[in-house]
Amino acid sequence: MSERNNFIDYIRIFAHSGHGGAGCRHFLRNKLTAKGGPDGGDGGRGGHVILRGNSQLWTLLHLRYHKNVLAKDGENGSKNKCTGKDGEDIIIEVPLGTIARDEETGEIEAEILHDGQEIVWLKGGRGGLGNCNFATPTQQVPEYAQPGEDGVEGWKQIELKVLADVGLVGFPNAGKSTLLSAITAAKPKIANYAFTTLTPQLGMVEYRNNRSFCIADLPGIIEGAAEGKGLGHRFLRHIERNAVLLFLIPADSNDHKKEFEILKNELNEFNPELLQKDFIIAISKSDLLDQELMDAIEKELPENIPHIFISSAISKNLMELKDLLWKTLNKPVDA
């Protein structure tokens, strides 16, 4: 499998938590006691299926061949009021930004956002009570004990939405991968053809005074992505996590305003809430422009959205872009 195919952001699995062990029906019998009272112990709890966040993971690749996740059953109770052993839990380690859904209902059952965060996704069945729990003054020899509860099972979906502060949005070949390689330590694949970036690329941007923020180069969007054309929803769902969206429009675009409107419309078609995020427009490849052309492009751009002319090739305004992104990321909430 090539490195380009190692980014897995969706997995479908069959998960089953353990059954609870049955309570024991037993009465004390030994050489000194012919007919003692009930001493049946409780059954153990069935194993849980647990999700745990791991900040060192960036993909669901490690889960690709684990299609069946089956936790162990709890052991039955035994005599002398001995409780059965709990079933062993199964812990599934996932990247931050992972969402777990029930396939049948589509309901989100868990969301992992922090390193080390643990969520019991499927609870193991409770162990049954042994007959020693049911003795009363009027019923001193209870003949029954509880069975253990069944575990939970079903087809589940695990989906990754990349966590990054800034998401790069633009048509194929807008210069997103080049920008990412210029301002971060990431080494994305760069070539002059559509859909070079087939998977999200993350990079840390080093900022002033040893500060940093995370930026993601997301797969190129094309008109109609919201209907599933191109890479479609698989790309768009990663944008939902970004706090700021940086629209990259090349200087040699035929219509800068129209290109921005198409990109914005795709986001709106997928999820209107995306339009509530902070937008910044960067005109890439601006080393090709003189001041007159920059003035003409500036008149096309929306007045209420910050914009900047950059060039990754000659490092033009890259520090100023970092300043603008940092300021936008850290603006007061009520601003």
Reading the block at residue 269, the tokens are: 């078609």
Nearest to 247 by CA among 287, 220, 270: 220
Give pLDDT, residue 35: 77
Token pair, residue 244, equals 């700021």
Q: What is the DSSP letter of 328?
A: H
**CA distances for 282 relative to 175, 306, 307, angstroms:** 10, 9, 6
Q: Which two tokens stand for residue 40?
A: 């049946």
- Domains by residue range for the chain, with CATH: 1-160 (2.70.210.12), 166-329 (3.40.50.300)
What is the per-residue pLDDT for 210?
A: 77
Q: What's the one-letter identity of residue 39?
A: D
Kindly report, residue by residue over 254-271, the tens digit of the pLDDT: 889 999 998 888 778 777
What's the CA gap between 125 and 273, in Å, rounded? 39
pLDDT digit of tens for each residue in the chain (335 aa)? 333 445 567 889 999 999 999 999 998 887 777 677 899 999 999 999 999 999 888 778 888 888 899 999 999 999 888 999 999 999 999 988 899 999 999 899 999 988 899 999 999 999 999 998 988 887 888 888 999 999 999 999 998 876 678 888 888 777 777 888 888 765 544 434 333 334 556 677 888 887 777 887 766 555 444 455 544 455 556 666 677 889 999 988 888 999 999 888 877 877 787 788 899 999 998 888 888 988 988 888 888 899 999 998 888 999 999 999 999 888 775 54
30-40 pLDDT tens trace: 777 767 789 99
Can you give the pLDDT at residue 247? 93
**Burial per residue of 91-102, b for 16 or more beta-carbon CB atoms within 10 angstroms, e otherwise:** ebebbbbbbbbe
pLDDT value for 221: 53
The angle that helices 176-183 and 318-329 make with each other, rounded to 10 degrees, is 90
Looking at residue 100, its pLDDT comes to: 94
Q: What's the pLDDT score for residue 236?
A: 57
Joined tokens for residue 54: 């791991």
Helix runs in 225-307, H state only: 232-239, 256-270, 291-300
Alpha-carbon span 335 to 331, nearest angstrom: 7
The DSSP code for 105 is: T
pLDDT at 300: 86
Inter-residue contact 241 to 271 (CB < 8 Å): no
User: What does the block give as tokens for 281?
Assistant: 């427009």
DSSP symbol at 68: E
